Amino acid sequence: MSFFDYEHLRVIWWLLLGVLLTGFAVMDGFDLGVGMLLPFVGRSDAERRVVINTIGPVWEGNQVWLILGAGAIFAAWPLIYAIAFSGFYLAMFLILSALILRPVGFKYRSKLPSPTWRTTWDWLLFVGGFVPALVFGVAMGNALEGAPFKFDDTMRMSYEGGFFDLLNPYALTCGLVSVAMVVLHGGAYLALKTDGPVAARSRLIGSLAGMMLIILFALAGDWTANNPGYRIVGAFPHDAASNPLAKTVVLQTGAWLLNYRAMPATLGAPLLGFAGAALGAAALAVGRPILGFIGSTSAVIGVVATAGASMFPFILPSSLDPDSSLTVWDASSSKTTLLIMLVAAAIFVPIIIAYTSFLYHVMWGKVTTKTVDADHMSY
């Protein structure tokens, strides 16, 4: 059996999609968190300029991971792209609208000296961080519950849900997990990049967010364990052409726990989430920002990996017709497409990682009021 046969390529691209989405959560997560913390950790205009300038030079590069993730879904998992970006259209529009506030806010905040003008943009930057963090978590919660779509016998897709159907209690709990995770990550980053009162407030809020993350993550996990999940019954080919209707899926309470029983190593994902949140909260509380950032990064990786480990091989289940659920084995592009994309990823992802590492090496160091004024930073 070749390492690059269709079955293995599908698993490789499932893993790569997880890496890209985790990269987005880690890299863009802290600057979304910084945006949320801006009105609270900066009490004066000078302090808020310090906060903004910690992410001003890097936030655009961080969003490359979001573009890579969306592009990978489009090319490697076209059925996922079609359903998620059409069925969740209003949610995606809300995310993009909030993200647009970020570059506008960064550029326009400093154009006028008016306190009202600048405070207004500060709160819009808060919205630009809070809304994506919440909605991405809500989307993940809906993916775990299943989306209301189905395929007919000609493979035409229909979606029967609405925007407000996404805002159910379980999905909102997952959204709050995402918000707490991002606030912890942003607080840890600010504690690392600033000093004085801004760093002290960031450590306090970040530590509280870490404790909230532990509670919310445990609550979401308990809810998931006691809710119906999806399970494939019977055998079906893993290397056949993509056809979501070629399998039988049933709902079963606790089905999302089956992978942890079959592969105990996957328990490392939720354990990393809890341990990272605990380390981040404790380290920030005692003034150890480097350990705090390591902890918050580990928490992000653990939380995202937990969702993937729980759902495998499902990527987007269907609550309307479980047999239409999309899995690793029946929602991918062709073998040739996956192989060509793998070659492209092997070339360009290391380049992106190298460039990002170089950028953060150059920008390393604390941002203070003196450095902002001395360097005439425009944010």
How many Cβ atoms are within 10 Å of 64's Cβ, its own excluded?
17
Return the domain boundaries, the chain: 6-224+334-374
User: Nearest to residue 373, comparing CAs of 45, 102, 41?
Assistant: 45
Cα separation of the two ends of the chain: 55
What is d(CA 102, CA 115) in angstroms, rounded to the nearest whole number? 19
What is d(CA 137, CA 131) in angstroms, rounded to the nearest whole number? 10
Single-letter amino acid code for the residue at 42:
G
What is d(CA 169, CA 247) in angstroms, rounded to the nearest whole number? 30
Question: Residue 209's pLDDT is what?
Answer: 97
What is d(CA 213, CA 198) in angstroms, rounded to the nearest whole number? 22
Indicate the helix (H) or strand (E) that contains 319: none
- Tokens matching residue 379: 């944010």
pLDDT, averaged per 10 consecutive residues of the chain (379 residues), comes to 82 93 92 95 92 87 87 90 86 91 89 92 95 95 92 87 88 96 97 94 97 97 92 86 90 92 93 97 96 97 95 94 93 93 91 87 82 66
User: Nearest to residue 135, comparing CAs of 88, 103, 100, 102?
Assistant: 88
Residues in the chain: 379
Say if pTM beats, i.e. exceeds, 0.85.
yes
Question: Residue 326's pLDDT is what?
Answer: 94
Determine the 3-state secondary structure of 253 from DSSP.
Answer: strand
